[in-house]
Chain A
Amino acid sequence: MATDLLQLLYYGLVYGAIVALGAIGVSLIFGILRFANFSHGDLMTTGSYVALALVGWLGWPLWAAVAPAAIATGVIAIVLDRLFYRHLRRTAPVILLIASFGSGLILRSIVQIIFGPDNHVYRTGISIPFRWQGLVITPDSLWVLGGAIVMVILVHLFLSHTRMGKSMRAMSDNMDLALVSGIPAERVVMWTWIIGGILAAIGGILLSMDTKLHPTVGYHELLPIFAAAIVGGIGRPYGAILGAFIISLAMQYSTLIISPAYMPAVAFTIMLVVLIIRPSGLFKGTL
């Protein structure tokens, strides 16, 4: 029984790391661009498939494909912003939400058209899990944890030590004051998409390593990601990380009581409870 609990804890940490990478991006975008980006899951999918293209068609090793895939996703995010969201900046947030859902559809369908509707993997063959202290651990899951930790540290350094990072936090905290201080809004927007895109791509690659590649693999995680961002507080990247682990662990431990099929429902329920009781989230978000 204790090993079961420990195993669930481990799954919770691994899945939570993936959700965290998505949630940080969603939270920043929500805080700075002021809308719920419903295409974020599909950005994750895009990143994982760009990596697949490099691995599958060009024969690159996966670790070499990560950076190009991340940058490509950041660029795609900026392109979507220029094509669609930029023209809608003055409209209501709900219009942007719908527009982001539309771009999510576009990304998802292009991925499926190019790569087909079937599952893919980065590497064929079975990876042997090993046992440690009674826990079953796959090598890939260690990469997920490691990769996520590295990314979180990098994001932290960016947000706290660079001028652009501080500007992003400032805009998220108090948009009017930031604009009046002369912060270049459009440049911050561009960086927000870059950071969001990079995190989404890496989250997507790790997700696909942990599960599989499929055109809807990222979309499937969209609502847990939103749940994490809301629980943590919109515009609060560190809150998003905490929210991700809370959601993930709750989802894993819920399987002790109810069917695993209802795991997403656990995430949604927590999100609903937070929206009712304390909509600004744990770290008192900006919205």
Chain B
Amino acid sequence: MELINLLNYALFFLTLASVYAILTLALNLQWGLTGLFNLGIAGFFAVGAYTSAILTTPEHAGYVGGFDLPIFVGAIAAMITSSIVAVIIGLITVRLRTDYLAIASIGVAEIIRLYFKNAEWLTNGVRGIPGIPRPFGGQPVLLLLLLLAIVIAVYFLVERARISPWGRVLRAQRENEDGTLAAGKNTNRFRLESFVVGSALMGLAGALYAHFIGFITPQAFQPLYGTFLVWVMLIAGGSGNTLGALLGGFAIWLIWSGTQILADFLPSTLSTQAGAVRVLLIGLLLEIVLLLRPQGLIPEKRTALVPRKKSDKGKG
């Protein structure tokens, strides 16, 4: 591979990795900090991407368009629509117990994806939306710098949120819900807030994805890529840990891209199956990560925020 190709690939890799890093940081807010097992990441990712795409693309025949708004407006709008969807979904789901929340959230994400796939008047259906404007005319280095800047900004946002009083309440109620309720904090309100903020960030990531790639289809937001890959990143990096989430994002993206390169080297008989081989590898990777280091690469330093009160069944 020539140097220039390698360099281009590296830029592409890092930029897309940054998008996933933002998703992972957002998920860290929801799961690591608040204990919300969100399997619907792909849904908010899609909402953000489509919102920004629809608002910033020129006129098209056959589906909505022509607003021609600037990219940053699209990005902000993406965050707003994601938040609105999150408020609606959140009001329903945040009070559910963890595995029900998981199933409900994946159901929601699938409904969203089904809608985007079928509402051709809005999204052009499976054909997708092409021609999404790219910042800086697509200049790769500037794009990467922009994205890295956003990643750093999101990182500090999430980290500041974690150590803030608000974040302390979230962590306390994650560890000891009864104690926090007793202390008078409205648990569900905090969970909802965390859910919405996280989803807004996922919407932002979606918008950035759309503007980076320049073309989106419903296929890009399937649960595998939009949701589970992010979960692998978070678990690998250490859930609850902001830095871990960031590193996990980049590390797993490296491995995932690595499988793409490996698949390119497969003998031609297998190369048609390259996609399946990659999926197999990611499945195995997931299991290995879970078995070996369920707490992740950088485990969260647990400090007891509320003294544990062990309640036993029956009066003592």
CB distance from B68 to the nearest CB of A (A): 30
B96 near A275 with CB under 8 A, answer yes
B108's contact among A84, A106, A215, A268, by CB below 8 Å, is which? A268
Chain B residues near A215 (CB-CB < 8 A): 276
How long is the Cα–Cα vector from A231 to B255 in the complex, in angstroms?
39
How long is the Cα–Cα vector from A108 to B277 in the complex, in angstroms?
10
B290 near A35 with CB under 8 A, answer no
A272 near B107 with CB under 8 A, answer yes
If A91-B294, A93-B98, A113-B273 touch, whether A103 touches B287 (CB-CB below 8 Å) is yes
Binds B, one of A124-132, A158-166, A256-264: A256-264
How long is the Cα–Cα vector from A37 to B235 in the complex, in angstroms?
19
If A36-B102, A93-B98, A95-B294 touch, whether A264 touches B286 (CB-CB below 8 Å) is no
If A91-B294, A117-B276, A272-B107 touch, whether A98 touches B100 (CB-CB below 8 Å) is no
Q: Is B261 an interface residue (CB 8 A)?
A: no
Chain A residues near B275 (CB-CB < 8 A): 117
Q: Is A1 an interface residue (CB 8 A)?
A: no
B110 near A94 with CB under 8 A, answer no
How long is the Cα–Cα vector from A36 to B290 in the complex, in angstroms?
16
A84 near B287 with CB under 8 A, answer yes
Q: Is A193 an interface residue (CB 8 A)?
A: no
Chain A residues near B283 (CB-CB < 8 A): 102-106, 109
Q: Is A101 an interface residue (CB 8 A)?
A: yes
How long is the Cα–Cα vector from A110 to B117 in the complex, in angstroms?
28
A102 near B290 with CB under 8 A, answer yes
B106 near A223 with CB under 8 A, answer yes
Chain B residues near A58 (CB-CB < 8 A): none
A101 near B228 with CB under 8 A, answer yes
Interface residues of A in 73-120 (CB under 8 A from B): 83-84, 87-88, 91-95, 97-99, 101-106, 108-110, 112-113, 116-117
CB distance from B109 to the nearest CB of A (A): 10
A88 near B96 with CB under 8 A, answer no
Chain A residues near B290 (CB-CB < 8 A): 84, 88, 95, 98-99, 102
How long is the Cα–Cα vector from A105 to B290 in the complex, in angstroms?
15
If A84-B287, A272-B108 touch, whether A98 touches B231 (CB-CB below 8 Å) is yes
Chain B residues near A180 (CB-CB < 8 A): none
B103's contact among A83, A95, A230, A265, by CB below 8 Å, is which? A230
If A112-B273, A113-B273 touch, whether A272 touches B235 (CB-CB below 8 Å) is no
B114 near A105 with CB under 8 A, answer no
CB distance from A42 to the nearest CB of B (A): 10
- Chain A, residues 174-194, CB within 8 Å of chain B (1/0): the string is 000000000000000000000
> Please, which residue of chain B has its CB at the minimum distance from the CB of A108?
B279
If A109-B276, A272-B108 touch, whether A102 touches B98 (CB-CB below 8 Å) is no
Q: Is A269 an interface residue (CB 8 A)?
A: yes
Q: Is A245 an interface residue (CB 8 A)?
A: no
A36 near B99 with CB under 8 A, answer yes
B92 near A276 with CB under 8 A, answer yes
CB distance from A139 to the nearest CB of B (A): 32
Q: Is A228 an interface residue (CB 8 A)?
A: no
Chain B residues near A104 (CB-CB < 8 A): 283
If A88-B290, A88-B291 touch, whether A268 touches B99 (CB-CB below 8 Å) is no
CB distance from A144 to the nearest CB of B (A): 25
A259 near B37 with CB under 8 A, answer no
A94 near B37 with CB under 8 A, answer yes
Q: Is A238 an interface residue (CB 8 A)?
A: no
CB distance from A115 to the nearest CB of B (A): 10
- Chain A, residues 205-217, CB within 8 Å of chain B (1/0): the string is 0000000000100
Chain B residues near A227 (CB-CB < 8 A): 107
- Chain B, residues 271-301, CB within 8 Å of chain A (1/0): the string is 0110111011011101100110010000000
Chain B residues near A116 (CB-CB < 8 A): 272-273
> Please, which residue of chain A has its CB at the minimum distance from the CB of B292?
A87
If A261-B114, A276-B92 touch, whether A94 touches B102 (CB-CB below 8 Å) is yes
Interface residues of B in 100-154 (CB under 8 A from A): 100, 102-104, 106-108, 110-111, 114-115, 117-118
A88 near B294 with CB under 8 A, answer yes
How long is the Cα–Cα vector from A259 to B114 in the complex, in angstroms?
11
Chain A residues near B284 (CB-CB < 8 A): 102, 106
How long is the Cα–Cα vector from A276 to B228 in the complex, in angstroms?
25
How long is the Cα–Cα vector from A88 to B93 in the complex, in angstroms?
26
Q: Is A279 an interface residue (CB 8 A)?
A: yes
CB distance from B299 to the nearest CB of A (A): 14
CB distance from B222 to the nearest CB of A (A): 11
If A91-B294, A102-B283, A261-B118 touch, whether A109 touches B99 (CB-CB below 8 Å) is no
The 3 closest A-B pairs by CB, nearest first: A105-B283, A268-B107, A109-B280
A-B contact pairs, 20 of them (CB 8 A): A88-B291, A92-B98, A93-B99, A94-B99, A95-B290, A97-B99, A101-B286, A103-B287, A109-B277, A109-B280, A109-B283, A110-B280, A112-B276, A116-B273, A230-B100, A264-B111, A268-B110, A269-B111, A275-B104, A279-B96
Give me 13 other A-B pairs in contact (C-beta within 8 A), A88-B291, A110-B280, A276-B96 excluded.
A88-B290, A92-B98, A93-B99, A98-B228, A98-B286, A102-B286, A116-B272, A116-B273, A226-B103, A261-B114, A261-B118, A265-B114, A275-B93
